[in-house]
Structure 1
Amino acid sequence: REVFALVLSEALVVGVLGAALGMGLGIVMGRGAVQAVTQTITDLYFAVTVQEIEIATSSLVKGALLGILATILVAAPPAWEAASVPARAALSRSSLEGKARRAVTRVGFGSLVLAILGLILLAIPTRSLAISFAGTLAIIVAFAALTPLVTTLLMRTVTLPLGRIWGALGRMAPRNVVTSISRTAVAVAALMVAVSVTIGVSLMIGSFRTTVVTWLDQVLQGDVYVSAPSRTSTQASTPLDPAVLPIVETWPGVERVDSLRTVTVESPGGPISVFAVDNPNFGDRPFVTSDLS
């Protein structure tokens, strides 16, 4: 009981400190993010008066309680295990490694089931973000949980070749990896997830940039755009005076003038933007005819 209470008390202290530090840094980062976003909106779209964030006291209390409770719940199983075994066994690393090696096969088969479940969720034809994120999370967790089994099999496979090349040292290195599987598997899984997330985010950012560049090349085909003043710089809601067109067309240095009209209409599927343009090559998608009458 003393060991159990001692571990939980330490977890309580860590949880309180972590919750306080996390909320403090979260508030600072949240204010910085709000300022950055509002400044971007003000520079590119329209003036935004929101400069500060208001945090309810109830939200801070809930966050602190959740952080402390999660820390205690995570610390409770190992605290109970440490209190239910002799002190020498609790301090012995071999007992922990033995349990980890015995659980490798069970965890490996469980991870395969979880991976199949994730693939099934991703195969569902739906636009639900919850289902997509659940499937992705299941696959990531499954591959991370599969790491101990894969590491063990791989080390056992390379033990003989490495032993022939480097002798006893070549056999000891992979065996030490398997012997300390509770630590090495966590390190390998963490590195695997970090590298995969880095690659995924890099590909996603590159795809976004390519998509934006392609869209701009298709839409912004003119050098200068003229529109009537409106409340926002992103939507020209006021029609341009027809008397302006002859002036612009005869302006020195102007090769061609194309007119564009945009209207937003409501539909059962949501608002739709309808474009009318007298340039048949608008958006690099030639129309059959420019006469829409």
Structure 2
Amino acid sequence: MNNKQISIIGVPMDLGQNRRGVDMGPSAIRYAGVVERLEALGYDVTDEGDIIIPKDLTTDKEMTHLRNLEEVIGASTNLGNKVHDVMENGKFPLVLGGDHSIAIGTLSGLADRYQNLGVIWYDAHADLNTADTSPSGNIHGMPLAVSIGLGHEKLVNIRDFAPKIKPENVVIIGARSVDPGERELIKEKGIKVFTMHEIDKLGMTTVMELTMNYFKERRVDGVHLSLDLDGIDPLYTPGVGTPVPGGINYRESHLAMEMLYSSNMITSAEFVEVNPILDEKNKTADVAVALMGSLFGEKLL
């Protein structure tokens, strides 16, 4: 977090699922004052605008298990190229979503900048489905699988390399809705997961300490934070497409972000799944911006 130059990239993507409204997430987060919040902390913030997302869908109707495949590939490629350019210019990429399928693009733009990238997946879901295991065909439930090299060839090979990350370099935090195929994959690949059971039992402080030690042991040379607002309990973030009760609470989430700031490990971040249509007076976007404040060093005293 020593990098004082931040580039914000909006991705108004709602093609990774079938519930409209999340494409307005980047605008809601901007409206909640993300630029002003970060500038007040002393950062030099550049808003790079939004990745253009196609609205006229031409999806192959036979591709029923991969909704809007070609459009997601196109948007992910454009996002990956933009993230790569931001990194080339020495800036911290902060990506605003949009549904969680955008992580496919974000990671494709990051991964070739590192030898051993670590990823924190802060989410109620594992997002480890493929076309064969997905109950819905929604690609926003697949980005982590795609990024470790599993799934449709075109998705896996965005920006012409795969895999983007190693499964042993992933830590999932807050999981409480995991599909059967994902459970098998977690066991098979040895992916580190702190479910809500572990958070309840150990406490967030211990979970974050274990996470940071895990990355140190693996000698990662960067850590990307992919934070889905549905990782937090819907009591605090009602404006998400797939809310799951019993999630991480507001204060625990701030503690996690504060500890990540103190660790100086985070080299990129994305905040996704803010859906203003489902929200209450922009409450979820406000939470997202508040958590970004803690991630970038905001303190009470």
What TM-score comes out, normalization by structure 2 length? 0.25
Higher relative contact order (CA 8 A, sep 6+): 2
Q: Give the structure with the higher percent strand.
A: 2
What TM-score comes out, normalization by structure 1 length? 0.25
Larger Rg: 1
